[in-house]
Each structure stands twice: as structure tokens, then as C-alpha cells.
A and B are shown apart, each in its own frame.
Chain A
Amino acid sequence: MFQVLSNDTLAAQVHRLVVEAPRVARARLPGQFVIVRLREGAERIPLTIADADAQRGTITLIIQAVGESTRDIVAVPAGGSIQNVAGPLGKATHIQSWGRVACVGGGVGTAVLYPLARALADAGNEVTTLIGGRSASFVILRDELAAFSKEVLVTTEDGSLGTKGFVTAVLDALIADPARRPAAVFAVGPLPMMAAVAERTKPHGIQTIVSLNPIMVDGTGMCGGCRVTVGGKSRFACVDGPEFDGHQVDYQELMARLKTYGEHSCRLEAAIREQEKEAAR
């Protein structure tokens, strides 16, 4: 049993849980994830470790409630517990000094981006952060990211916060400006967003790292359900990733694979649409 120490709401259906997991907290590096199973009979789901405190023995998980499993997890109050937390899994982000980097987060992907962006800033990079959301209520971690970013640029599809439109337009402007042009771009968010970012950076030869979240069961390389084609080769996101060269990923195949459980994922999409309506009200 893993104790939930706090649970607060960051945005519509997005919760931040601080969970007691001393071993994971001690071993964890930015970019890694855990597999969480709430209770007997629940699904095993991968969640990125947004932050960790090795001294206190805690990890922070930022979770968007989109399906039955995530809804159940965000409903656990402080003082409650999660039955299984296994990790840290996956490879840690390769951190080096590029000089100037852009970190692009879309929706709840911003939570995955956060530890990575902070590690990049800690390594001496000048970090420009771009956050995209459907509307203002979906923009998370803006202040936290601003604490170490040179600037935080926000875009929303409905224009309710920051620039109206997609993050790619803002990224184009950065690339076009020699004084702000990034040497590397890190993008985490919905697949179409990461594909679009990679498409923009490729002609300029800007190294682009994306973090993938395919369907997983065990998270330790045993099932192979998370395989993605990268550079023409099949790779397992759980052991070879979750971060890959964004210019090499076969996004179409991965998007198709994410829809494997048709009825299942339809339910997820319907749930997201429902939440959007609620947020709009």
C-alpha cells in the first residue's frame, strides 16, 4: 500500500497527488514513470513522475481523469492509499547543455514536461516554455514552469488565455528569431501536437525529443504492447523510451495503436468531450 499524502486540483479534472513511495523517490530521475494500480482488479496504468522528494520519500503524480482508472485514482483523498506503485521505469531524460532549448507542453503533457524542463534548466540551459491548452482551464503548472523558464508562452485554442491558436505558431516564431532560436526542442502532449512540432523543427535540423505514452501492461519490457516504430525499427517505449527522437517516430502507426480498444478508447474520448463541456460551463 502506498499512502496518498495530498491531492489537489490543478485544472479541470487534473489532480496533483503526492504519494509516499520511498524507494521510487530515491531512485527516480526526470523522464521516468511509474505503473500504478489502484486496487485489486484495477488496470495497471503508466504515469509520469512529475517530481520527487527523496528525503521525504515521496513522488508527485499529475493525473488527468479521462477514463475509469484515472478517475478512480484522482478520487483517492489525502490519507487514502494506492495498492501498487512500481518504478521508476523507462530511461531517464538525456540531459546536456544545449544552450537554448524550447520545452513544449500540451494539455496534461505539461506535467510530464515539467520535471524534464526543470532538469534542463538545472543543467544550465536557457529554457523557453510553451504551453498549449484547449482553453485557460486546461493550462497547468504555469507558475511552476515560470520559476526557472526564461519565458513562458501560453496558447489556447479558444484564446481564453495567451495567444489564440496552437503552440506550433509560437514555436515557428521562436525558430524564426535568431536571438531566441532553440538548439533543441522537447515536446510532450497529444500525439498530433508532437507530430506537428517535429514537422516544424525538422527542416531546421533542430533536435527534437518527444515523450510517448503508448498502451502498456507491465512497463518492464515483458509484454511489448508499447512498441512503436522509431527510425524504421520497432522499439519498446517502456524500456527504450519513453523519450525518442521526434523526427524518427511513426506517429500514424502509434495513433492507430492507441485506438486498439475501440469501445474503450471511444469511451475515453467521450469522457474528455464531456469534461470540456463541463469546463466551458
Chain B
Amino acid sequence: MTPGKPTLTPKERMAISRVKMREQDAGARARNFKEVNQGLDEYAAMEEAKRCLDCKKRPCVAGCPVGVRIPEFIVKIAEGDLAGAAAIMREDNALPATTGRVCPQEKQCEELCIRALKGEPVAVGWLERFIADWAAAHSAPPAPPAVRTGRKVCVVGSGPGGLTAAGELARLGHDVTIFEALHAPGGVLRYGIPEFRLPKAIVDAEIANLEALGVKIECDVVVGKTVTVPELLKEFEACFVANGAGLPVFMKVPGENLKGVYSANEYLTRVNLMGAYRPDALTPIAKGPVAVVFGGGNTAMDGVRTAKRLGSSRAILAYRRSRAEMPARVEEVAHSEQEGVELMFLVAPLELLGDERGWVRAVRLERMELGEPDASGRRRPVPVKGSEFELPCDIAIVAVGTSANPLLTATCPDLKLNKWGNIEIDADGMTSIPGVFAGGDIVRGGATVILAMGDGKNAAGAIDRYLKTAPPRDEPGRP
């Protein structure tokens, strides 16, 4: 294909129907951890890119938390200028191979796509994934900027928010160090999102790109314990706190400490970070014929699909609202059903029942119906009297959210928190301590990869402006 000016008329573009994603067969993939989506080939990607009308309003860009210049990279793909498309992507998005896989596009760029008004939106997410994977295979890693500012900035946490901020700051020429508590970087991309949705090789490659930009990553540093934020401020001129979600929330029903009952965090960490799905893994994971997962978000979906892959013949998602209220990505819900996951709506657990050895054997559930809308705008589930029933199970996974991580904030008393323990920030992402910025789940209390990345990108810009107003230190490290 020769690059050149696209010649299609809008009518011709409108006539092209949305591409289909190649997927691993549902029966096969329900028994393995290989990626479900197989990606678009170059021809399919170019055809899909031609569907973009390159409209004036560009509503998709407004819908993107990191502001990727979506029509510009898509037009480049349509023209066959893949290197050009990759260059745009690299400038705008630090983790495109990740967001192309895990963003809820249907609620962001694709929802706002003008083509969605009449038919299906342009497959922005799939095109993003295509160009990110193409770039990983065909282009050289990015080089550090020629101009170095010599300003030292640290980032707490190497999840999507921290990685994005670090990448942006490094591209601006700052000297960036990330501190990660676990033994491997990536945060939720590493311990939370399963291999079948986001292969760890992709995470490794995205992180390698950031390291090529000059970002330094130190693992095994638990900020708040190993070092405190006030200590870091003696060495670094600014700090971005993105230490993520904290303690898993349990449902406060009897029996939650029975054996076989996991928080989704523990279940997924054992499988993803520790590799417990591999036969030779040293870290164990409990398995059983029936697994029940409580929750309706992406973490719950990841948990129930993982249980299916670990051999549960019945993997059941029990959600207290209905399908319409599920926060999970639509694609994941569809994939899970193809894989044989059972979705059970309008049920809430009352109690987990154990056997004589202390293992969970069943959950007592109660049926719910939808009442008036609550604070979130979703209809509140109300118990149906006399509707209790027992569902036998061997594994129960609680995926109903997390509370704020207390480790960092406990040793940084000047940091202003809200009543839930989340860090308060201003419009620039700055906390109550000058030079300390924060974003992602520690601020939002649980959101998405892309929102954390948006926070990281915004904070990086604000940190850059902050450094310009603060005089450089004569001797960094010796205040």
C-alpha cells in the first residue's frame, strides 16, 4: 500500500462495516491463559481506519482521559503510514498496547464517535492496540530527550498512573525514579489484570520503553515503610504519589474467613504476579468445581474468568444489581459468557457456610430487586423478602472494591486526606504538601487504568510547571 492522500468519500467510508476482532475459540480459551483477542492484521486495520470520517468536532478525543489525537493516528493508519501513526501514539499515550486492550472504549472514545449515532463506532481501541503492537515489532525504542533539566522527581507506584507520569516527565527531560513496593513493576497491570486480557510480555515491553526514555525503577521499596514521603522530599524536588488501591473490602457477612474464600486481590495476585496458574508454580492457589465471585466490575470479571480457566466447571458471577448496572467492560462480559461463565443477577450474599474442616461449602444468597436510584444514579438493589437460597461452592472470591492504602499516608501526617483516607488534591493534582502530587486510585478510591493514566499525564504537566517556578536545588540530596 502506498501512502497517499485518502480518496474515499464520506459515503464510501460509511459503507464499510466494522471489522471483527479475531478471537481464540471460546471453548479452548476457557481452559488456557493465552490472550483472548488476537489483534487485527494490517489489512483489517487499514480497512477499519478508513471508516473514520475525520470529522471536525473530534468528539472521540474529548472522550479520552489522556487526550490521544485519535483521528490523526487513525488517518495515518488509513494512509498506510504506520510509522507516522505510531509516532503520534507514542507522543500522546505512554502505554498504548495496554489501553488498547483494557480501556472501556465503549464508554469513552467509541461512545462519542459520530458514527455511533448511526450504527457502530470506529474500533478505536482495536486500532490503538494494532498500532502499539506494530510499533513494538517495527520501531526502535524511544530515546531520552537530548536536553536534560537535571531536576529530580520521584514517583510512588509503578501502576498505570505512575508509569504514565514517569514517561511524561522523562520526555520533558527530568530525572525520574519510580519506587515500587512489589518485586516487579506494573502495579495492577502486573498483579491484577490476567494474562488472557493483558499478556505480561506486553507490560514488560511498555515498561522497557519507559526505561529506554531514562525512567529508573526501584522495586522492593514500600514508600511509607522503607522510606517516607518526607524523606524522599530531601532527595527529590517533586513527587507523584500513585500507590494505588489499598486494602480489599470484604462484605462483612459471616464466614468470610473460611478457607477457600479469597479477596479478588489475593486470588488474582497469586495467579498473575506469582504465576500460580502454571503447573510448576511454587505459589499455591485453591481450586474447586464451583467458584462464585461477588461483584460486577472488571475485577470480578477477571476473577470469574480466571476460576473458569483454573478448572472450575461452574464459574458463577453473583451481582446484586442487573446487567445494565455492571461496571465491567462490555467486551469482557460478552467474552465471559462465551466461555461458559454464569452471570447471576440481583442476588446478594448473606452468609458463607463452612464444612467441618473450615472450608467454604456454600453461600446463602438473597434475591434483590431494583428500587429508586441511589447516589451513584444507579437503581438501588432492595432485598426480596423470603427469597433466600443456598448455592453450593468450593471457592468464593470477593470483588466488591478496595479501601485507601494506609501505609504511605500514615507516615506523612501533613498530607490532607478525605474521610475515606484518600488523598485530597487541587485542580493540578497537587496535594496539601507543595511539590507532592497524587493521582489514580489513592485519590479516586478505585477507578480504571485510563483514568489513573489521565491523572498521571495531568500531574506530569503540573509538576513540570511547578519545577519551573521553584528554583533548582544547589545540591540535590542535601537540603
Interface positions of A (Cβ within 8 A of B): 23-24, 27, 37, 41-44, 68-69, 83-89, 217-218, 220-225, 227-229, 234, 236, 239, 253, 256-257, 259-261, 264
Contacts and interface: CB of A to CB of B under 8 A. Distances in A.
Contacts of B181: 86, 218, 220
A3 to B, nearest CB: 14
Interface in B224-262: 225-227, 245-248, 250, 256-257, 259-260, 262
Contact of A27 (B182, B226, B283): B226
Q: At the interface, is chain B mostly helix, strand, loop or mixed?
A: loop
B32 interface: no
Contacts of B225: 27, 87-89, 220
A271 to B, nearest CB: 14
B246 A43 contact: no
B87 interface: no
B269 interface: yes
B274 A223 contact: no
Given A43-B274, A222-B246, A234-B250, A69 B266 contact: no
Interface in B267-294: 269-270, 273-275, 281-284, 286
Question: Closest 9 A-B residue pairs measured CB to CB?
Answer: A256-B358, A223-B266, A86-B220, A224-B263, A84-B183, A261-B284, A224-B248, A225-B266, A221-B247
A221 B407 contact: yes
A236 B269 contact: no
Interface residues of B, number: 39
B265 interface: yes
A239 B248 contact: no
25 contacts: A23-B227, A27-B227, A43-B274, A43-B282, A43-B283, A44-B274, A44-B283, A69-B282, A84-B183, A84-B220, A86-B183, A86-B226, A222-B246, A222-B247, A223-B266, A224-B248, A224-B266, A228-B257, A229-B257, A234-B250, A236-B247, A239-B406, A253-B257, A257-B358, A264-B284
Given A224-B247, A224-B250, A236-B247, A217 B284 contact: no
Contacts of B247: 221-222, 224, 236, 239
A220 B183 contact: no
A89 B222 contact: yes
B250 A223 contact: no
B246 A260 contact: no
Nearest to A222: B265
Contact of A234 (B246, B256, B265, B406): B256
Interface string B315-355: 00000000000000000000000000000000000000000
Nearest to B262: A225
A224 B261 CA distance: 11
Contacts of A257: 257, 259, 358
B415 interface: no
Given A43-B274, A217-B274, A218-B181, 15 more contacts: A23-B221, A84-B183, A85-B220, A86-B222, A87-B225, A89-B222, A217-B270, A220-B181, A222-B246, A222-B269, A223-B269, A224-B250, A224-B265, A256-B358, A264-B284
A79 to B, nearest CB: 21
A23 to B, nearest CB: 5
B156 to A, nearest CB: 12
Contacts of B219: 84, 86
A240 to B, nearest CB: 10
Nearest to A252: B358
Nearest to A90: B225
Contacts of B478: none
Contact of A41 (B221, B248, B270, B282): B282
A85 B220 CA distance: 6
A256 B283 contact: no
A23 B226 contact: yes
The CB with the most chain B CB atoms within 10 A, among A69, A86, A222, A259, is that of: A222
Contacts of B269: 217-218, 222-223
Interface in B185-234: 191, 219-222, 225-227
A259 B259 contact: yes
B448 interface: no
A215 to B, nearest CB: 9
B405 interface: yes
Nearest to B403: A221
Contacts of A253: 257, 358
Given A43-B283, A223-B265, A224-B266, A256 B259 contact: yes
B283 to A, nearest CB: 5
A229 to B, nearest CB: 6
B357 interface: yes
A218 B226 CA distance: 14
A221 B246 contact: yes
A256 to B, nearest CB: 3
B35 to A, nearest CB: 22
A261 B283 CA distance: 10
Contacts of B284: 261, 264
B346 to A, nearest CB: 26
A261 B227 CA distance: 34
A24 B227 CA distance: 9
A178 B286 CA distance: 50
A223 B263 contact: yes
A44 B183 contact: yes
Contacts of B281: 41
Contacts of B191: 218, 222
A256 B265 contact: no
Nearest to B398: A224
B405 A221 contact: yes
Contacts of B262: 225
A233 to B, nearest CB: 10
B257 A234 contact: yes
Contacts of B259: 256-257, 259-260
Interface string B358-384: 100000000000000000000000000
A236 B191 CA distance: 19
B359 to A, nearest CB: 9
Contacts of B245: 222
The CB with the most chain A CB atoms within 10 A, among B219, B221, B407, is that of: B407
A83 B183 contact: yes
A41 B279 CA distance: 12
A272 B219 CA distance: 33
A69 to B, nearest CB: 7
Contact of A220 (B275, B283, B358, B407): B407
A248 B220 CA distance: 33
Contacts of B405: 220-222
Interface string B393-430: 00000000000011100000000000000000000000
Interface in B404-461: 405-407
A140 B219 CA distance: 33
A258 to B, nearest CB: 10
